[in-house]
Amino acid sequence: MFIKSLELTNFKCHSSTRFEFGKTNHFFGDNYTGKSSVGEAIVFNLFGVTKHGIKGYVKEYLQEGKNSMKVDVVLQTHQQEYRLTRTMNPKGTTSVYLNNKKVKESEFKQLLGDYSRFIYSFFPDVFPEEEKSNARSYIVKSFLPEIDEFYELEKEKSHIIKQQKDIESSRNFYEGQRSLLKRQIESLNEKQNNAAPISLETQIKKQQLDKEVKSITMKLEETIKEGIELKTKLNTLKEKQNEPYFYISEQCPTCHQTVSNSQAHNIQLEHEKKKNVLQNEIDFLEKELEDQRRQYSNLAKNKTILEDELEKIKKAFPNERLDDHPSQQLNELEKVENIIAELFQKKIDLADDLKKLKQQLGQLANQYQSQINQYYTHTKVALFKQLKNGELRPDFQITYNNRPYRVLSNSEKIRCMLEIITEFNKDQDNTVPIFLDNLESITHLTHPTTQVFTATVKKGLPLTLKVKD
């Protein structure tokens, strides 16, 4: 886009002013001579808003006592020249004209494109003053069109956090059930008329011992079965080891021919090799069988210990009292305890998944920021903020030479934003001009490649335009 001329009628301090522009346009003048108003007039003409995108405040642009205001812009875009005119009455109602023909606002928008892209490039100071969420969304859209993976991981993270909350809620429920069952068991025990009531711990202990004895009995049976299988394999291998072998000058059992010395020697070597392999297998199986016997012996000892402990409990209380305890509640309590244990494990697993997910998000965040900041020399953009707990939160911060934008001098802010704007305009079919206000603080500036407007205060000087092509 190239703005060729601007004509102002009753716009702020400009009663009737016309400018012809070139590639580089320097405005000079004292304060209140209308330098900044030029940039505001261009934005008003093209989009009908202030430089900050506010439509309601444009009424203040109309000179006091005047009934109408008009701003004409002639610009070249998409290799064609257009005259755009916008008028406004005291109520703030505007009308737009394209090549002197009244049109709808939508035709301006279709021709000019996105307001945000224009204003962020035209007025460099606007972008860093935007709401963080808006500025962040714009820069992400401009540089990271394929950021879907991060958002998908964020959704997955939210899903895991929801699962954690659901598990915590379930745990609270089952812990309540556990407390209720324990109270019921204690209550049933209190109702039993026995001088030596069986405590809940004793009942649970007996139930655990019963289960352990059953479990170890099953393991003993499995060990016996495995031992029999190992013994059978071992006997089979030993039989193979004892198979007959024919010697030199004996006949081959297959073809009945006499075996020569060299043939017999080779056969003997092969036989010895097979014997060695068999012996290794036999040694291995014998070791396994020995281990099996030790395991069986240990299991048998453990079973005896458990049975002795169980017998002590049975002797301490009458058999009928042990059989009369609240077994249903105890069984329910065991189920609840198992569910609570499972929920606890799920919580641990989800915490691990969440930790890995946060690491992935952190890696992606670094990748995205590197992808954006690779274009800049002194400027850096941060899209995420890491909290003390390691969480990543969407953020938007601009730094220049490692200093926050808010503490920069005016000249540093301009240089910083020119770096960003240059990338906004890169790879675009239709570049946007730049308006640099308060340029008196800068002594040297790398000239942008697009059309430039600058405004510099010169004490005592009326508004003056110097054009360089």
pLDDT in tens, 216-244: 899 988 989 888 888 888 888 888 777 66
Q: What is the pLDDT of residues 54-106, one digit of tens each?
A: 888 899 999 998 999 999 999 998 889 999 999 999 998 999 999 999 999 99
- Indicate whether 161 and 232 sit together in one domain: yes
- Indicate whether 297 and 441 sit together in one domain: no
State mean pLDDT over 369-396: 83
Q: For 55-64, 109-118, 122-131, 141-150, which range has the lowest pLDDT when averaged over its residues?
A: 141-150
Q: What is the pLDDT of residues 62-72, one digit of tens each?
A: 999 899 999 99
User: DSSP string spanning 44-79?
Assistant: HHHHSS-TTS-SGGGGGGBPTT-S-EEEEEEEEETT
Q: Could you tell me the CATH number of the domain that includes residue 448?
A: 3.40.50.300
State the residue range of the domain holding 99. Answer: 2-125+426-468
- Indicate whether 308 and 430 sit together in one domain: no
CA dist., res. 289 & res. 12, Å (int) = 103
- Indicate whether 228 and 334 sit together in one domain: yes
CA dist., res. 313 & res. 196, Å (int) = 13
Average pLDDT, the chain: 84
- Indicate whether 168 and 82 sit together in one domain: no
Give yes or no for residue 249 having a pLDDT over 70: no
Helices (H) and strands (E) in the chain, counts: 10, 13
51 within domain boundaries:
yes
136 within domain boundaries:
no
CA dist., res. 362 & res. 389, Å (int) = 13
Nearest alpha carbon to residue 432 among 418, 444, 416? 418
- Indicate whether 70 and 194 sit together in one domain: no
Cβ partners under 8 Å of residue 20, min gap 6: 4, 5, 467
Q: What is the pLDDT of residues 303-352, one digit of tens each?
A: 899 888 888 887 766 554 544 557 788 888 888 999 999 999 999 999 99
CA dist., res. 327 & res. 333, Å (int) = 10
Among 349, 376, 391, residue at a domain's last position: 349
Among 332, 349, 366, residue at a domain's last position: 349
Q: At what angle do helices 35-47 and 115-122 cross, to 10 degrees?
A: 170
Q: What is the pLDDT of residues 383-411, one digit of tens each?
A: 888 777 777 777 889 999 999 999 998 88
Among 286, 315, 349, residue at a domain's last position: 349
Nearest alpha carbon to residue 64 among 16, 6, 17, 15? 15
Residue 251: per-residue pLDDT = 57
374 within domain boundaries:
no
Q: Which residue has the higher pLDDT, 331 or 263?
A: 331
- Indicate whether 115 and 178 sit together in one domain: no
Highest mean pLDDT among 28-42, 193-207, 415-429: 28-42
Contact (CB, 8 A) for 9 and 71:
yes
CA dist., res. 441 & res. 177, Å (int) = 73
CA dist., res. 170 & res. 340, Å (int) = 9
Per-residue confidence at 248, pLDDT binned at 50, 70, 90?
very low
- Indicate whether 192 and 305 sit together in one domain: yes
In which element (H, E) is residue 200 found? helix 200-241
241 within domain boundaries:
yes
**Domains identified in the chain, total number:** 2
Percent of the chain with pLDDT over 70: 89
Per-residue confidence at 195, pLDDT binned at 50, 70, 90?
very low
201 within domain boundaries:
yes
Answer left, alpha or beta for residue 174, where phi above 0 means left and psi between -120 and 50 means alpha.
alpha
State mean pLDDT over 199-207: 78
CA dist., res. 166 & res. 343, Å (int) = 10
Give yes or no for residue 19 having a pLDDT over 90: yes
State mean pLDDT over 161-168: 91
Whether the model pTM is above 0.75: no
- Indicate whether 321 and 221 sit together in one domain: yes
- Indicate whether 110 and 242 sit together in one domain: no
Residue 11: per-residue pLDDT = 96
Residue 12: per-residue pLDDT = 94
Residue 147: per-residue pLDDT = 64
- Indicate whether 241 and 100 sit together in one domain: no
Q: Could you tell me the CATH number of the domain that includes residue 285?
A: 1.10.287
CA dist., res. 170 & res. 166, Å (int) = 6
Residue 148: per-residue pLDDT = 65
CA dist., res. 148 & res. 107, Å (int) = 32
Residue 205: per-residue pLDDT = 83
Q: What is the DSSP letter of 377?
A: S
- Indicate whether 64 and 168 sit together in one domain: no
Q: What is the DSSP letter of 31?
A: T
Residue 282: per-residue pLDDT = 86
Percent of the chain with pLDDT over 90: 34
Q: Where are the alpha helices (DSSP H) in 86-199?
A: 105-112, 115-122, 132-143, 148-191
396 within domain boundaries:
no
203 within domain boundaries:
yes
Per-residue confidence at 255, pLDDT binned at 50, 70, 90?
low
144 within domain boundaries:
no
Residue 320: per-residue pLDDT = 46
